[in-house]
Amino acid sequence: MLTKFSRVKVLKIYNSTVMHWSESAALSQKHHPNLMMLYLVRVNMTNGELPAGLLSDDFPQKLLDIEFCSTNLCTLPDDFDLKWPQVASIYFEASDFTEVPAPLARLAPFDLSLAMNPISIIPASVFEGQVGFLHIGGTLFTELPESVPEMSPSLVLRVDNTNITFFWDWIDPSLENARTLVIDAYPILAANSPYCTDLERIYDGQQTSFSASRHKTDSVILLNASLENWPVLKATVSCEPWPSTWYPIEFEDAYSGL
């Protein structure tokens, strides 16, 4: 039946359980050439896995906004990176991932959110390539990878609602690039983190340095608490709170009447 909706542009599944979604009913370029947005919100899937209907080899070419929020998804197939688009917004938020799946790290989508998943280690690969927006707020990691050999040249990074206390120097070139671009966004969003607690105390004159242990490869920009560096810090880091997920789930619940 789903294959008959060739003109559909937006598909949303809300507050549901997907027991079975077969390959014969898969989203595909052949049957859904106009599909641009896919949302699965408060959805459970069998075994916490993507159904076959979302893994077509003929994936819709215009489907570049894919958002999962509050699901039981916990794993991705090994060939996931060969099926889904890299130049896309892909959000797996408030789900059950305990690690960043290897195929997702290989895909490294331009706009990726893993917010509110119980993930404790963030691999370097998700910061590489052409990633432009990365949201790992509300996860369990305490520090970023020490080395990122091929850092994305421009990145907006959300680490709010985490226990991050410092940043490594591999992030500095991206921050320098951000200062040369005209973008209406802070490169770093870190509200409700120990780092922002330190930063606010520094601005208030309650301390003169960051409390994290120092390393030889600390960020020169983000760990410099001198008064001369305050304008850079204030233009680079936002400590203002944001909704925990990019997907507006509170609005969705109110609108859909849950």
pLDDT tens sequence across 67-98: 999 999 999 999 999 999 999 999 999 999 99
133 neighbors 112 (Cβ within 8 angstroms): yes
Share of the chain above pLDDT 70, in %: 98
Residue 187 Cα distances to 130, 218, 222, 238, 239, angstroms? 15, 17, 11, 8, 12
What would the 3-class secondary structure string for 187-250 be? CEECCCCHHHHHHHHHHCCCCCCCCCCCCCCECCCCCCCCHHHHHHHHHHEECCCCCCCCCCHH
State percent of the chain over pLDDT 90. Answer: 89
Looking up residue 143, the CATH number of its domain turns out to be 3.80.10.10
pLDDT confidence of residue 180: 67
- For residue 126, is it within any domain? yes
Report how far residue 52's alpha carbon sits from residue 66's, in angstroms, rounded to the nearest whole number.
Answer: 16
Residue 185 within any structural domain of the chain:
no
12 within a domain of the structure (yes/no): yes
| 21 located within any domain | yes
The mean pLDDT of the chain is 95
pLDDT value at residue 258: 60
Q: Is 199 among the domain residues?
A: no
Length of the chain as a residue count: 258
Q: Structurally, how many domains does the chain consist of?
A: 1
Q: What is the C-alpha separation between 167 and 248, in angstroms, rounded?
A: 29
Position 129 scores a pLDDT of 82
The answer to the question of residue 171 being in a domain is no
> Is 192 within the bounds of a domain?
no
Question: 197-206: long-range contacts (C-beta < 8 A, 24 or more apart)?
Answer: 198/165, 199/233, 199/237, 199/239, 200/239, 203/230
Residue 179 has pLDDT above 80, yes or no: no
Please state the rounded mean pLDDT for residues 19-38. Answer: 97
Inside any domain, residue 115: yes
**pLDDT classification of 15: cutoffs 50, 70, 90:** very high
> Domain containing 68: what range?
2-160+243-256
Encode pLDDT of 201-253 as tens digits.
999 999 999 999 999 999 999 999 999 999 999 999 999 999 999 999 999 99
